[in-house]
Every structure is written in C-alpha cells, then in structure tokens.
C-alpha cells in the first residue's frame, strides 16, 4: 500500500496533485531441505536372514542401525557415512550370494 499523508486543513482532495504510487515486487525463495540419508535397514535385515555369507549381512545390519541412530540425532553426515557402508556391505553380500548360486547350479 502507498504511504498515507495527512492533508493540510486548507487543502481538499480535488485540489491535490495526482500522486505517484510505487509498486514493489517481492520474491519468495523456497529452500528445500535435502532428503534424509537412507539407512538401508530393511535390505540389511533381509541380507542378514537370507544371505549372511561371512556375517556380511550382520555387519550391514549393524551399520544400518548406527545410521538410523545418527539420523535420529540429527547427524546427517554420520548417518550418510554409516548408510553408505551398510549399502556397500549389502551389495557385496548380494554379489557373493549370486555367485554361489550360479556355481551351485553349474555344478549340479
């Protein structure tokens, strides 16, 4: 809204010169927070139960729980680190299990 001024007593509205109004534009910046880091706890749980070669699934589950704890405390960098370690362990266990299944199928 334009600023309002008090009219002097001897002036009427008809005698007032036309005023210029200023138009201001505002810009709204929306800052999106990055998504929380993933902890891969479900994947680690299934790796622990179904493909626990050399306890890699158990280690992945351990790091997933640590990642979830860090995420709840608000330490996103620690949660990201533990989550990526759990992901690497899960991938390693999955690849080893696939290789073992392929070897068993070829031998049989």
Q: What does the pLDDT look like over 51-88, one tens digit per residue?
A: 787 889 999 999 999 999 999 998 999 999 999 999 99
Evaluate if pTM is beyond 0.85: no
For residues 2-11, average pLDDT: 65
pLDDT value of residue 11: 63
* DSSP state, residue 34: P
What b/e string do you get for 43-71 counting C-beta neighbours within 10 Å, with b at 16 or more? bbeebbeebbeeebbebbbbbbbbbbebb
pLDDT value of residue 21: 54
pLDDT value of residue 12: 64
**C-alpha dihedral, 79 to 55 to 87 to 39, nearest 10°:** -40
pLDDT value of residue 101: 92
């Amino acid at each position: 809204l334009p600023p309002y001024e008090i009219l002097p007593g001897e002036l009427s509205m008809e005698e007032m010169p036309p005023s210029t109004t200023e138009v201001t534009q505002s810009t709204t910046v929306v800052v999106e927070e990055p998504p929380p880091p993933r902890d891969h706890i479900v994947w680690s749980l299934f790796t622990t139960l179904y493909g626990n070669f050399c306890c890699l699934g158990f280690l992945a589950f351990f790091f997933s729980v640590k990642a979830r704890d860090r995420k709840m405390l608000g330490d996103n960098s620690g949660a990201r680190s533990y989550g990526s370690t759990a992901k690497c362990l899960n991938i390693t266990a999955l690849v080893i299990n696939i290789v073992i299944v392929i070897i068993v199928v070829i031998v049989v």
